[in-house]
Structure 1
């Protein structure tokens, strides 16, 4: 037996006594409670010095961890008490202690290995500093605790009780492993999948991860891009996105999509959906349309270009840390071409370069000319909507999306990935999120128009309607979200899991932001001020300040004679019919502290603009005249009271009123006055004759316009060309070479052509638009009667119309190079009592157009008598078609109503053909044909397997498909 001198030590580790351990645990609990109680006060005290969000996280998680440590100490104390009560050997107690210690270290190692992995993945594109690691560790710990809490509260999700659509993705486990093998790069490689919609229709598809932030592909819940195979469509699209919502409300996409649509801004559709992946509930997502040609066609836009200005990607198709700060407006190569109307990416990239050239110019005149011709109202409407939600996310670095409309040459903005943020209360409601916004701000009348659109949007879809939409969404997604274990949202540079309480708070915050923004904008737009200085010399200065302009109206029958100082020679009656004077804007840069950092921040402020007039009356009379005028807020219509003062002379600032500050003076950019131009007799034209929106061109009866090669008439205004049967107006070639085109362009354009004979034209290019008709009506309106069009060359059509409206009566079309009449997405159309002969293509070609066609006589069409395509629904009565290759073709879900047609002697095809030509419309021909004579043809019908056309006549109804049809003719189906 060993003696005490040589006996082994009694313990390997000296454990604290039980009372001391309990006291330490209670102290930690007390500190945790105190820290939790004082958290709000501490955060408020250090606001402006430290980052409030990070400080709050540190305090809350420190409080929680103190409580956890105290709990672990009490648990350990209990275990040791158990050991002691059973009189276990000291070695066993020490071993147990070491096992607990190693378990803690093991769990900690796994935790920090997970954090290190996430930081490594994020570090590919985000510059995450080492000193942020403790904060990120606390975030990750909080996220794990929230996830455990969510798991305890989750029940099995039953799709039968869902108020939102329920979709499913099926992907083999090996393919998911492939997607996760080398994130983020591996997630961009599409894998085989199947997609099932809420009607249980299953589509063969390809799927991959999408998005350039960690919360899209790094968290448990991934964002998906789904590309259907075999030209299948879902929601009218072949590609779409299922996005992990980034905002705690879980409805940011649907809200902004709704506000954009209500504002009349081009936008992809978004709504909430529940998603299963391999029969496991993956949670609540946001569905989002993908932008491509199919998206354009679905929304009745002409196929055109789509340009995406986003953070540029490297050879791995990923964003490096260096590229995060690149400005997309610096180089065209930083843009992606997501669609083109002609397959020419080089041409499309040239259009991007032209956009950037004008956005970056320091020449205000150059930018204004470009903006007027190629952006205009569409961008101002978008800018107004962005102001409503304070979306600064479409900035100089990313989220720029533009549709280039080939019929107008305009770059039309697309709302994309918007945010909803509180508007700063210390500046004007003027957004300058990017270089375009900053340029627009220079022009007070553009700012005024933006404010008018903003005020209209405020009232047409007001905050109450937005809140109703939010509340309905909240009700719809609550049950699916309650059962969503992984309620991940964005939390740079990672993501975080939220509780249901945090979701409800997110919804509440969203509604409060909407109410606050709308209230602030209403208040701001009501601010309009004018002070008037009357000098002894007769000079009158109107100094306009505030957010909105001032509308001045003279009483009926009065005449206060003035002239613009230094701009006009003759006096005229002031403010007759109303006059709007605009305030200006300035930009000041100030230092703003956010946590430990100080930034330069731009603030927009209202500045006065002076408008100086000369009057030949005495100062007392001038003041009296001014008091008789009425003054209104030009946006809201509220009446305002001006300040009027007499002074010996105007101030130097008022006298130098045209000098440019940040805002350009409106008098330097006055719109061209109305003009009336008359052409008569015999004229020889060469080059392009362009007429503005305020011009009226009158071509008198009997006029002969002899057009030299490529000569064109291009009008953005009004053209009145009225001949007579005895004295028609003739527009033809000067020397036999084809001239260009007779063009009407834009919503302000309008043409009346009566007894006009037009021949030997072709087409032309102007303002980034190719006009393919000898007469081209693009986005305008035209009425044509008793006219003759013939013998066009080189370009496609005798007459081509896109959008707008057109009415053609009692006219003739001969010898076309291709189609006689081609109508694309024309809103209102009529073709009646007209004759078509010897045509190179179709007599009438319709795309997404629903005109009325009656009493037309067609003979010798080189292709189709009437081609009805791309979801058109015309009404056709009493058409006679003979000697065409095909009588009537019905394509791509077009659904015409056809009455009393006669089709004879088709040459190559059938009298009636129904088929799918363009897969993007999701089907073949439909339609109903009543009481028609189509039997006198070698082939009567051609139907493909996805078409269904109905024939009504002789007291019966026959539904024809690709497999069966009996309309009483021989050799019916081909």
Structure 2
């Protein structure tokens, strides 16, 4: 055979082979046979040729990135060839068209290394649909050892960026943060596998308890979504009573799904009037409206709809701090220009938007966002491109070549601008009505009190004759009142408790108000809340009254505990959840729950009170308002901390804290308090600063504790603590200072190891210390 004929034959064979590969990789009708071809030895040898050919135009960009010094962090992963084969063989057949189900999620061991971390980890492919794992560059889920977390993370997603449309998901997360929604933090990193550069990945923490505890929610909340194993198996609604089977929790192996049951009952069985009364006490309406705005700005409702497959990106937290579902924008993409707004919002969103005033709130929010953020969003995109563009151009592992990548980026920019203008045109889009099931509501036991929250004041008084009604609202007169069932004060009224009122509470009975309370006693006629027997009662709690001030003065409270009401775990004998409070001149003793006074997501003015012999923490603050003050209080012989802070930027001033079974002041979880003029004595630890908290301390006397000052990391997903101490006294502690390598204690102008003079303190205080 002549040389020319051999060359011609070789050329024809090459053209045929490339044509076959093009058909295999580009046309959906050929997807079914792709797995067979790719695993064929001859085709396997030609795949690198195919990849090289489609990347040939990238040579034009070589001068642009050849000498580019990337600033991205690099994750180095090593997986044995045997384990890579295990991962590949577990993929669906045909893997180009199947979905990654539980049987396909095979974990293997790998080495994971960065500049400041190295350990043996578990790794698997991730992503429901095939684009995550049917090409050379795949998406991964990495699981780190429990005792050696990576930057505080137990599990980490490594996602191919083109799946999230490069800057689109980061943009939508940025929008969501501006609207005060909970969103996962994400960034771009470089990944090498077995020494081979795999280019740029989008990285973010997976849904775990470790992720939850970094969020502004109760740490016993549930991360909820649709179980991946049933995605695509049904077209029935996830928001019906039967839809409960599709829900799953990411941070609990045996989740209590009563909150989901209650949600589905209310969505599917109530008329608009009842829905409007009940749903605000189970769902954060403002956050649902904000989530809807983010979706509208992208022209789509990715992960919306009510079927398990349509709702596979539906993510929510049921926050037990407030007893409400809070949406998490996740994988919010952008619609193709030819398919904009074709998807429907979920039944939950549609029912909320069917209420005229809530729709008006949504419309106003969207208009305000565009008026104030339109240019800022575009600047975000330009900043993203400026920061990452060269990394993507240098990424030879991405599926597309650089010409396609740049075309995609420009098209995505146009789409963002288009939907900024288009969104307002769809404010009055009509969605199909929700089919209402004509059956009685069947709420779980823990949510039965929701009905009482929606009562009118007149209905409440009729059911609870101990109370009266006047022009200002509900009234509880002076005298003895015996309660042997839990009382729910409804929303949209006000309760006044008169001086001299004595509330006698039966075992485990709670007093729960969804309206603000004024309870002002006098020196002669204090207001008392007492147990009816030796057994503790439940809680006295105010929920979700916002900035409407609750005022409590000259109150005596004894022997309360904790409870769960309408899905809200209430840890304090006296608790305020999302309800501002002023508590003064009161006495609280013998609490049998986790906390005596607990303030969550609210501002508290706590002045001139006494906390004595409570079983655990006296004052516990979680996400309090920045104007919160703890001042001139006395704490004696409490079993836990005198004051326990989480996510708190507050003032703690001129308090006396003696004999706590744990800490005088516990400063945890990114708190930044100012601590001034306190006497802190005979506690296990005087002041502990931990978990990325920083405190400024001035003129405090810290004496005769087992440890005076301690700074350390308690939870691995945070870090150490820092204390800046001046003008203080640190004396007579068994250990004056104790800190770990992650923490810092800076002391200036202070007396250390010199006995202080306490003549200015009352004799009873001096006697307790001596």
Q: TM-score range by the shorter chain?
A: 0.7 to 0.9
Question: How much does 1:275 deviate?
Answer: 3.5
Question: How much does 1:798 deviate?
Answer: 1.4
CA distance in 2, matches of 1:440, 1:701: 42
Return the match for 1:417 from 309, 312, 331.
331
> Residue 459 in 1 paired to residue 382 in 2?
no
CA distance in 2, matches of 1:118, 1:228: 38
- Is 1:260–1:267's contact at 8 Å kept on the other side of the alignment? yes
- Is 1:253–1:286's contact at 8 Å kept on the other side of the alignment? no
CA distance in 2, matches of 1:513, 1:968: 67
CA distance in 1, matches of 2:161, 2:129: 12
> Residue 759 in 1 paired to residue 666 in 2?
no
- Is 2:508–2:536's contact at 8 Å kept on the other side of the alignment? yes
> Residue 703 in 1 paired to residue 615 in 2?
no
CA distance in 1, matches of 2:337, 2:486: 48
CA 1:187–1:220: 2 relative to 1, 3 Å: farther
Question: How much does 1:373 deviate?
Answer: 1.1
CA 1:727–1:143: 2 relative to 1, 3 Å: farther
Q: Report the TM-score, using the length of structure 1 for normalisation.
A: 0.64
CA distance in 1, matches of 2:380, 2:641: 47
CA 1:817–1:123: 2 relative to 1, 3 Å: farther
> Residue 815 in 1 paired to residue 725 in 2?
no
Question: How much does 1:154 deviate?
Answer: 5.5
> Residue 920 in 1 paired to residue 717 in 2?
yes
> What is the DSSP-based 3-state SS (H/G/I as helix, E as strand, rest coil) of the residue aligned with 2:511?
strand
> Residue 951 in 1 paired to residue 747 in 2?
yes
Return the match for 2:54 from 147, 156, 175.
147
Runs of at least 5 residues in structure 1 that lack an aligned partner in the other structure: 1-78, 84-92, 125-139, 489-496, 526-546, 548-584, 590-601, 603-668, 956-966
Instruction: Identify the residue that residue 866 of structure 1 maps to in structure 2.
Output: 665
The Cα offsets for residues 434-467 of structure 1, whole Å up to 9 and x where unpaired, read as 22233334322222222122222222322x2222
Return the match for 2:295 from 386, 394, 400.
386
CA 1:173–1:384: 2 relative to 1, 3 Å: same
> What is the DSSP-based 3-state SS (H/G/I as helix, E as strand, rest coil) of the residue aligned with 1:831?
strand
CA 1:425–1:186: 2 relative to 1, 3 Å: closer
> Residue 313 in 1 paired to residue 110 in 2?
no
CA distance in 2, matches of 1:265, 1:244: 24
CA 1:160–1:712: 2 relative to 1, 3 Å: farther
- Is 2:603–2:625's contact at 8 Å kept on the other side of the alignment? yes
> Residue 937 in 1 paired to residue 733 in 2?
yes
Instruction: Identify the residue that residue 492 of structure 2 maps to in structure 1.
Output: 694
**1:450-849 correspondence to structure 2 within 5 Å:** 450-462=362-374, 464-488=375-399, 497=400, 499-523=401-425, 547=428, 587=431, 676-686=473-483, 687-748=485-546, 749-793=548-592, 795-828=593-626, 829-849=628-648
CA distance in 1, matches of 2:179, 2:648: 24
- Is 1:328–1:334's contact at 8 Å kept on the other side of the alignment? yes
CA distance in 1, matches of 2:456, 2:293: 23
The Cα offsets for residues 305-341 of structure 1, whole Å up to 9 and x where unpaired, read as 3444336317xxxx6xx6275754453332331125x
The Cα offsets for residues 873-900 of structure 1, whole Å up to 9 and x where unpaired, read as 2221222223323322222232222223
CA 1:111–1:753: 2 relative to 1, 3 Å: closer
- Is 1:163–1:476's contact at 8 Å kept on the other side of the alignment? no
CA distance in 1, matches of 2:480, 2:33: 72
CA distance in 1, matches of 2:665, 2:164: 54
CA distance in 1, matches of 2:456, 2:72: 51
- Is 1:744–1:750's contact at 8 Å kept on the other side of the alignment? no
Per mean C-alpha deviation after superposition, the further-off stretch among 208-217 and 348-357 is 348-357
CA distance in 2, matches of 1:386, 1:103: 47
CA distance in 2, matches of 1:144, 1:461: 41
CA distance in 2, matches of 1:712, 1:159: 69
Question: How much does 1:821 deviate?
Answer: 0.9
**1:235-384 correspondence to structure 2 within 5 Å:** 237-246=153-162, 250-310=166-226, 312-313=228-229, 323=233, 328-329=238-239, 330-340=242-252, 345-361=253-269, 363-365=271-273, 367-375=275-283, 376-384=285-293
Backbone CA RMSD of aligned residues:
3.7
Question: How much does 1:351 deviate?
Answer: 2.9
The Cα offsets for residues 679-719 of structure 1, whole Å up to 9 and x where unpaired, read as 22203141233233421111222333333333433222221
> What is the DSSP-based 3-state SS (H/G/I as helix, E as strand, rest coil) of the residue aligned with 2:198?
strand
CA distance in 2, matches of 1:715, 1:362: 24
The Cα offsets for residues 195-230 of structure 1, whole Å up to 9 and x where unpaired, read as 32xxx3343252332111222111111112233446
CA distance in 2, matches of 1:424, 1:119: 24
> Residue 193 in 1 paired to residue 111 in 2?
yes
Aligned length: 690
Question: How much does 1:797 deviate?
Answer: 1.8
- Is 2:58–2:403's contact at 8 Å kept on the other side of the alignment? no
Instruction: Identify the residue that residue 763 of structure 2 maps to in structure 1.
Output: none
- Is 1:292–1:306's contact at 8 Å kept on the other side of the alignment? no
CA 1:278–1:759: 2 relative to 1, 3 Å: same
CA 1:108–1:698: 2 relative to 1, 3 Å: closer
- Is 2:611–2:618's contact at 8 Å kept on the other side of the alignment? yes
**1:85-124 correspondence to structure 2 within 5 Å:** 119=31
CA 1:360–1:812: 2 relative to 1, 3 Å: same
The Cα offsets for residues 336-361 of structure 1, whole Å up to 9 and x where unpaired, read as 31125xxxx44433333333333333
CA distance in 1, matches of 2:524, 2:408: 75
> What is the DSSP-based 3-state SS (H/G/I as helix, E as strand, rest coil) of the residue aligned with 1:934?
strand
Question: How much does 1:586 deviate?
Answer: 5.0
> What is the DSSP-based 3-state SS (H/G/I as helix, E as strand, rest coil) of the residue aligned with 1:896?
strand
Instruction: Identify the residue that residue 875 of structure 1 maps to in structure 2.
Output: 674
> What is the DSSP-based 3-state SS (H/G/I as helix, E as strand, rest coil) of the residue aligned with 1:286?
strand
Question: How much does 1:775 deviate?
Answer: 0.3
CA distance in 2, matches of 1:459, 1:772: 42
The Cα offsets for residues 460-512 of structure 1, whole Å up to 9 and x where unpaired, read as 322x2222222222233332222222432xxxxxxxx3x43333332333233
The Cα offsets for residues 236-289 of structure 1, whole Å up to 9 and x where unpaired, read as 534332211235952222122112222222211234444443443322332333
Runs of at least 5 residues in structure 2 that lack an aligned partner in the other structure: 37-46, 93-102, 435-453, 459-470, 756-770
- Is 1:203–1:228's contact at 8 Å kept on the other side of the alignment? no
CA 1:160–1:108: 2 relative to 1, 3 Å: closer
- Is 1:250–1:503's contact at 8 Å kept on the other side of the alignment? no
- Is 1:187–1:217's contact at 8 Å kept on the other side of the alignment? no
CA distance in 2, matches of 1:693, 1:390: 36
- Is 1:781–1:805's contact at 8 Å kept on the other side of the alignment? yes
